[in-house]
Structure 1
Amino acid sequence: MASLGLEAEQEPLLGDRTPGSREWDILETEEHYKSRWRSIRILYLTMFLSSVGFSIVIMSIWPYLQKIDQTADASFLGWIIASFSLGQMVASPVFGLWSNYRPRKEPLIISLSISVAANCLYAYVHVPASHNKYYMLVARGLVGFGAGNVAVIRSYIAGATSLQERTSSMANTSACQALGFILGPVFQTCFALIGEKGVTWDTIKLQINMYTAPVLLGAFLGVLNIILILILLREHHVDDSGRQCKNVNFEEASTDEVQVLQGNIDQVAVVATNIVFFVILFIFALFETIVTPLTMDMYAWTREQAVLYDGIILAALGVEALIIFMGIKLLSKKIGERAILLGGFIVVWVGFFILLPWGNHFPKIQWEDLHNNSIPNTTFGEIIITLWKSPKEDHNEGPTGCPIGQAWCFYTPMIHLAQFLISAVLIGIGYPSCSVMSYTLYSKILGPKPQGVYMGWLTASGSAARILGPVFISQVYTSWGPRWAFSLVCGIVMLTIILLGVVYRRLVAFSVRHGRIQE
């Protein structure tokens, strides 16, 4: 009976195993299917935890930095914020290359171990007698370095899914990432109940407070993630039709595995998709950065109001993104990934076009205080401070409105609240659509060969976009105002739409391009 059960488990799910038949092309045993999807879901969790690791401390970095090192200024804060993306940008190609030639457990476990160690270091940055800010810089940079495993995750999922499964899997990956970004600040808010003092474990000099508890949770979840990967993750690689392929990552090779299809990758499509991915992350990073200063300048909101209202808006956009991620899985089957990508950029362009100032109403001028609550002229770090300043720090919010130090406030019409909200909704539709479709198409263009290095470069381009986007918008907005800033953004998006039009026919799957599968 046992042998009969084993034989039944090894039988193909879809018909006869006769070579050349359609069933042979999509052959998969039940055991292989369950193992493959179990591994993919483990990586969904890894992606979720990676994004939580970034966002869970983002609201508390500035007050914690001020507490541990009085010499830290806003300029240094900018470096700490950027260090995560810099670390990820450096690590992504490295881990991607590693995953091409070795079992992917190795870079995943090493990267997660680095993140766990970095979170522990962050919890101890208060201990040294001096230079505490540099320890925090190193800790956040190492967390970003560990997050370079995103390239491995995307590469694995791309290699472990057929063309038919790819869009849905990539959408689920993005949904997990978005959920992590949404829930991270929620976890931070819950830990705020512990307070600044918290409790101290004197034996090991560990302080557990509102600043360290989130990273300690992150370290614990990282250890749990490592255990799950060690126990449950298996190497799987299938071709575009879903047949199991031989690959260097495989721990065991089966005699009925097929060889990876040969052919050249369309490098023009690869470069174009990297540019598209850079632009969409660049656009959203600058939008997130400008939301608070823009609303404070245009609507004379106080810091407290801006943090509350903009927090609600960004949270709503996160929920909207989750809905879009789920919806495009169905829509892509009807109109295709390329159409959704192009349509998403058009929606983003409309969103920023609506955001352009029109009319004869001008924002309230902040006459009394040149040290305004908007974006200063100096550093990226100061842009972020307005997001984190607690109203408890200053019960007298002081003057509000568009600061006199920004000359454009006198001649640039205000952006009405309805304009801003409609724009936010449209950008919230376009961004997730473009994000998922860009790296879904990218994975299909690359084909069944190991994608680690290519996914590493894609992740690195996204990291660079998250660094450059805030710097770009801070300088242009402060100097020239929203009309120039959003006009330039519209121009960038329009150029990207033109690029997509030029390469549209080349954005096809590897197997389709080589005539092995009909589109």
Structure 2
Amino acid sequence: MLFPASIVTYSQLEMTVKTTVRPDKHQVTYEKPGHLANGTGNSHLQSLNFIHCMKMPCERTNWRVVYLMGVFSLIQNTQYSIYLTSMFSYLKKLDSTATESQFGWIMATSSLGHCIGCFILGWWNSRASRSAPPMHCGFLLMLASNLVYLLVDSVPPSWVAHVMMLSRLLGGFGMGNSSPMRTCASLHSTATDRSKAMASISGGRSVGTVVGPGLQLMFLPLGELGITIFPGILSLHSNNAPAFLGIVLTMVGFVSLIVLFEEECAEESDKKAIADFENQYNTVKEEYPSSDVIAMLICMLTRFVQNFMQISIETLAPAILMMMYFQTRQEAVASMATTYLTTGFIATVLYLLIIFTKLSAIVRDKIFNSLVLLLFVCHLLATYSWQFYTSHVLDRGFSNETLTGCDETHFTWCSNLTISPEWIFYIGYILSFGLFMPFINVANATLYSKLLNPDNQGTQQSLYDISNTTARIFAPIFITLIYSAYGPRRAWESLCLLLLFTTFLWIIFDKRLVPLKPIQKQMFDNDGFEQEKSPKTKLVS
């Protein structure tokens, strides 16, 4: 029989147990009579009043922890992306024989390290049932990455690429922090506030990725020689200054994690006391069934596809601007830099609105995922080189000096390629990745966290992050192969098919894409107890 509010006195233990069960609360309070609370009796049963956070859903959102995870995400992605604008030129400066292929392997190693780091730190989070230890390890790995990068100009030229690769590999391992961060934000937020919690993580990642490369402008006044710190050993210049800033940011995050982070979880002795009581008296239990693997895979595929599309377009954008719109390399870089900044600004404002206003209330997990995927398809259709366009890429000849135009000696598909309006290319990118992308990031991450058992999500969250990192590895390779062999039309068509297939899965498996709900069991077995007919029912053994 279930008693909504009951007091049970067990004379052998001389303790009072008050169990309150309400639809919106999951809290068990153990109280002791006054003479026991003053120091006598079993120490395991004193003052056990806490939210059993590793076993039951969070009762209230701990905004301090959620916002702290957002700041950590910002720090992590800023120090990780700050190298991107200067790394290749730094590699060429130190080793004139270095090739684009070597640089590609350096970046691939970084993404591979990220995949491995996500899984290991996420698994550690699940096994330890705590987020702090793996996050400490992640920050230390990022610190090691920055320290190794400082040594690049102190090694022989033939070692430069390998030392850079080691630095980026360690940085990738450290980026695995994204899994325990996402898990921690999920465990410390209610289902109602989950979208805001996920927005804080996604917003920190988005802002850090945009701000990081732009911070390189701060270091340009240092020049190539810079300031000597240790003569003949170490100097601060425009190429290694990102590593110094990365060290500062990482230390800020590491110290903040120690000083400011307070993880809400039950002590082992408290868990054992509750478990013993529940086993003895058959108190109410909430057991979660296994997560729906199909639903999880669809969310992970969506994460992969949305990032695959964005990275593919970012990879091809400079080539398309030079080939289709006859921009020089400098003009193409300037155009895309402006587009990135505009996109990042819009996305940042949107994330802040989702976090701090009621905009999160309109984010519907399943609807927004399917809707944004279809809007991405509209973006690709709008920027497609349709046959009815009158302008042609061969209207202007290919320039060997500026590399503008379409080189029909290398690309057979130049002969029938038309030019879509340039302004649609920029507007489409800004709308898709500045306005639409934040919604699918929040909606998909929120639903994925609700598909999982709230006890431990570390390993499953790591798989979600790996799906994003995998797109970074394969998208540039896949899309450049298609572009080189068949042109931008086939590349766009491939992305459309991938998006439509993913949308189709959301429609087909709609009934399975629902939050995981616990199975409740009987709270009390009334055998052996005597029930009194009073407003506050007392059962005495």
TM-score (norm 1): 0.83
Unpaired runs of 5+ in structure 2?
Answer: 1-17, 29-48, 52-57, 276-283, 522-541
Q: Quote the Cα distance in structure 2 between the aligned partners of 1:326 and 1:35.
A: 18
Q: Relative to total residues, which structure has the larger helix share, 1 or 2?
A: 1
1:19, CA displacement in angstroms? 0.7
Counterpart CA distance in 1 for 2:78 and 2:305 is: 23
Residue 400 of structure 1 and its aligned partner are, at CA, apart by: 2.0
CA distance in 1, matches of 2:298, 2:147: 39
Of 401, 404, 419 in structure 2, the residue corresponding to residue 400 of structure 1 is 404
* Alignment check: 8 A CA contact 2:398 2:405 kept: no
Q: Deviations over 1:230-259 (max 9, x none)?
A: 12212225xxxxxxxx487xx976988997
Deviation of 1:221 (Å): 1.3
Deviations 1:409-428 (A, max 9, x none): 22110121132123213322
**1:325 pairs with 2:347:** no
Q: Which residue of structure 2 lines up, in the alignment, with residue 193 of structure 1?
A: 221
In structure 1, the residue matched to 2:391 is 361
Task: State the partner residue of 1:377.
Answer: none
How far residue 447 of structure 1 moved from its aligned partner, in angstroms, is 3.1
> Does residue 100 of structure 1 match 2:126?
yes
Query: How many angstroms apart in 1 are the aligned matches of 2:483 and 2:209?
Result: 26
| Aligned mates of 1:252, 1:514 — CA distance in 2 | 23
1:504 aligned to 505, 510, 518, which one? 510
State the AA in 2 paired with 1:435: N
Aligned to 2:33: none
Structure 2: distance between partners of 1:466 and 1:247: 40
- The whole-number CA distance in structure 2 between the counterparts of 1:235 and 1:327 is 26
Q: Does the 8 A contact of 1:350 with 1:426 survive in 2?
A: no
Picking from 458, 465, 476, the partner of 1:470 is: 476
Separation in 2, partners of 1:479, 1:365: 22
Q: Which residue of 1 aligns with 2:148?
A: 121
Aligned to 1:90: 116
- 1:19 aligns to 2:20 (yes or no): yes
Aligned-partner Cα distance in 1 for 2:123–2:223: 43
Give the structure 1 partner of residue 417 of structure 2.
412
User: C-alpha separation between the residues in 2 aligned to 1:44 and 1:109?
Assistant: 16
Cα gap change, 1:172 to 1:259, in 2 (>3 Å): farther
Deviations 1:465-505 (A, max 9, x none): 11111111111112211111101111110001101111222
* Residues 365-384 of structure 1 aligned to structure 2 (within 5 Å): 367=397, 369=399
User: Which residue identity lines up with residue 423 of structure 2 in the other structure?
Assistant: A
CA distance 1:368–1:300, change in 2 (3 Å): closer
- Amino acid paired to 1:108: M
Which amino acid is 1:444 matched to? K
Note the alpha carbon deviations across 1:12-64, whole angstroms, 9 max, x for none.
Answer: xxxxx97124574489999x999933232222111111111222110001110
- What is aligned with 1:175? 203
1:378 match: none
1:487–1:41 CA distance, 2 compared to 1 (3 A): same
User: For 1:239-278, what aligned pairs fall within 5 Å after superposition?
Assistant: 246=266, 261-278=287-304
Confirm or deny: 8 A CA contact 1:299 1:364 kept in the other structure: no
Name the CA shift for 1:191/1:253 in 2 (closer, same or farther; >3 Å).
farther
1:365–1:402 CA contact under 8 A, matched in 2 = no
Residue identity in the other structure for 1:418: W
Q: Does 1:295 align with 2:301?
A: no
Conservation of the 8 A alpha-carbon contact between 1:348 and 1:426? no
Q: 2:136 aligns with which of 73, 96, 109?
A: 109
- What is the RMSD computed on CA atoms of the aligned residues? 2.8
What amino acid is the match of 1:193? P
Partner of 1:421: 426
Which amino acid in structure 2 is aligned with residue 509 of structure 1? P
Equivalent pair of 1:368/1:399 in contact (CA under 8 Å):
yes
Classify the secondary structure of the residue corresponding to 2:402: coil
Amino acid paired to 2:182: R
1:280 maps to which residue?
Answer: 306
Residues 66 and 185 in structure 2, CA contact (< 8 A), matched pair in contact too: yes
1:59 alignment partner, one of 85, 95, 111: 85
Higher share of residues assigned strand? 2
Deviation at 1:300, TM superposition (A): 0.5
Please tell me the residue identity of whatever aligns with 2:215.
F
Q: Whole-Å Cα distance in 2 between the matches of residues 259 and 320 of structure 1?
A: 45
CA distance in 2 between partners of 1:502 and 1:23 (Å) = 32
Cα distance between partner residues in 1 of 2:452 and 2:25: 23
Residue 278 of structure 2 corresponds to: none
Give CA deviations for 1:218-237 in whole Å, capped at 9, x if unaligned: 11111121111112212225
Structure 1 contact 273–438 (Cα < 8 Å) conserved = yes
What does the per-residue CA deviation read over 1:118-161, in whole Å, with 9 as the maximum and x for residues that have no partner? 11111111111241110001101111110011011111111111
Tell me the residue number matched to 1:388.
Answer: none
Change (3 A) 1:259 1:459: farther
Output the CA distance in 1 between the equivalents of 2:324 and 2:267.
56
Deviations 1:362-407 (A, max 9, x none): 125674556xxxxxxxxxxxxxxxxxxxxxxxxxx63522223222
| Alpha-carbon distance in structure 2 between the residues aligned to 1:106 and 1:78 | 32
Report the 3-state secondary structure (helix = DSSP H, G, I; strand = E; otherwise coil) of the residue aligned with 1:131. helix
Q: Which moved more, 1:415-424 or 1:459-468?
A: 415-424
> What secondary structure, in the 3-state scheme, does the structure 1 residue paired with 2:288 have?
coil
CA change 1:23–1:471 in 2 (3 A) is closer
Matches of 2:235 and 2:285 in 1, distance apart? Answer: 54
After superposition, give the CA deviation of every residue in 1:136-194 in whole Å (9 maximum; x if it has no partner). 01101111110011011111111111101100110121111111112112211111121
- Aligned counterpart for 1:308 among listed residues 331, 334, 339: 334
Select the structure of larger CA radius of gyration.
2
Structure 1: distance between partners of 2:309 and 2:180: 25
Counting matched residue pairs gives: 462
AA matched with 1:455: Q
Q: Could you say which residue in structure 2 is the equivalent of 1:459? A: 465
SS at match of 1:430: helix
Structure 2 residue 342 is matched with structure 1 residue 341: no
Give the aligned partner of residue 155 of structure 1: 183
Q: Does structure 2 retain, via aligned residues, the 8 Å contact 1:47–1:177? A: yes
Please tell me whether the aligned partners of residues 61 and 193 of structure 2 are also in contact (alpha carbons under 8 angstroms): no
Is the contact between residue 109 and residue 226 of structure 1 (CA under 8 Å) also seen in structure 2?
A: yes
The one-letter code of the counterpart of 1:19 is T
Unaligned runs of 5+ in 1: 1-16, 238-245, 371-396
CA shift, 1:323, in A, is 3.3
Residues 515, 482 of structure 1: alpha-carbon distance in 2 compared, 3 angstrom cutoff: farther
1:211 aligns with 239
SS at structure 2 position matched to 1:19: strand
- Structure 1 residue 443: Cα displacement: 0.5
**Paired residue for 2:169?**
141
* Preserved CA contact (<8 Å) 1:84 1:144: yes
How far apart, in 1, do the equivalents of 2:270 and 2:202 lie?
Answer: 30
Q: Which amino acid aligns with 2:402?
A: G
Separation of aligned partners in 1, 2:519 and 2:487: 49
